[in-house]
Structure formats: C-alpha cells, structure tokens
Amino acid sequence: MKPAAATLLTLSALALLSSRTARSEEDRDTLWDAWGSWSECSRSCGGGASYSLRRCLSSRTCEGQNIKYRTCSNVDCPLGAGDFRAQQCSAHADVRHQGRYHEWLPLNNDPENPCALKCRARGSDLVVELAPKVLDGTRCYTESLDMCISGLCQVRASQSLPPEGSIEDHGIP
C-alpha cells in the first residue's frame, strides 16, 4: 500500500471512530431530560448556592450527575445581618432539648464535620448536632470561602462551584 493510501485509510478509520464516539456520547446525553431552571439562591447575600436538576429518561441508570450547582448572591451582607450559621442555630430556640429551651450559639470550624449544624447552649457546655446538614451556602469554616453543599464542604479554590452566570457549571457528587 502506498503511503498516501495508508494515510487516507487511517484518516477514514479515525473519522468513522470519531463519528461513532460522537454518536454514543449523543445517545448517552439523550437519556437525560433537559436541565431545569436554576433554583432560587440559598442566600440573599454573602454567597449562596443555586441548583439545576435533570431527570433520567431511561429505565437503565444514566451516566453523569442529575444535579449541578453554581454560586449566587456574591454580594456582602449589610452590617448587622448576622452570621448565617448562627441564624440556623437560633431557629431551633423553640425546640426543647433535655426538657429545656436553650439559646443556641454556633459551634464553628468543626474539623470532623464542618457541614453539620452543631450548636452550643448559651451558658453551658452542652453541644448538640441540631441538623445533619447546614443550609446550602453556609461557609465550612469562619475565615473561608469554601461552602457546604448537600452536607459536603466544597472547596472554592478548585472552582467546583462556578460563579453565577458562568458558562461552565459542574455537578457535585
């Protein structure tokens, strides 16, 4: 076989393989419904999260994620707005614990589970996990831009959560 013919054959085989790969990716994507509209932001200021869902249309398992997130409301909160985690603890003030009502203060920077809502009763050593997950958009740590999404700390430095309006949005497992 002449070199030109071999090159032509190789290019033809590559084109065929490429079209099959593209078709299989297209088929895989058609197993999913279109992405839904973005949810309302979890916060009105201070950085929150918004999500979009899609539904698997196949009776088989679909490849990929059914949810994707993006950051939103990336504007500073007004002075006196209060800490988002503290607001979540305060929301449990009307729930009895060990027969008493407590004023709950946030327990910040828990290295073992930064996305659980752990609060301390004012004037006591009593610490209680009031919820397994903080609300989406809650900072993992006090001095960090990393935020909790679905109970997991998502590191902002890796751009796992792109900014609102960005072209590329990512799912989070």
137 and 125 within one domain: yes
Final residue belonging to a domain, choices 50, 79, 108: 79
Q: What is the pTM of this model?
A: 0.67
Q: Are 160 and 172 in contact (CB under 8 A)?
A: yes
**Residue 96 within a domain:** yes
pLDDT-above-90 percentage for the chain = 49
Q: Note the pLDDT tens digit of each residue in 90-104.
A: 999 998 888 999 999
The pLDDT tens digits of the residues spanning 27-84 come to 455 699 999 999 999 999 988 999 999 999 988 889 999 999 998 988 888 988 889 9
- Greater model confidence, 173 or 87: 87
pLDDT band at 16 (very low <50, low <70, confident <90, very high): very low
- Number of CB atoms found within 10 A of residue 10's CB: 10
Question: What φ, ψ does residue 84 adopt, rounded to 5°?
Answer: -60, -40
In a domain, 135, yes or no: yes
Residues 105-127 have pLDDT tens digits of 999 888 899 999 999 999 999 99
With respect to residue 164, please indicate whether it lies within any of the assigned structural domains: no
CA distances (Å), 86 to each of 34, 59, 73, 138, 148, in order? Answer: 37, 44, 19, 10, 15
The pLDDT assigned to 81 comes to 85
Q: Looking at residue 162, what is its pLDDT?
A: 53
Is residue 109 located within the same domain as residue 140?
A: yes
Buried b (16+ CB within 10 A) or exposed e, 121-157: beeeeeebebbeebbbbbbbeeeeebbbbeeebbebe
Host domain of residue 87: 82-156
Claim to verify: residue 40 and residue 91 sit in the same structural domain: no
pLDDT of residue 68: 93
Confidence at residue 34, expressed as pLDDT on a 0 to 100 scale: 95
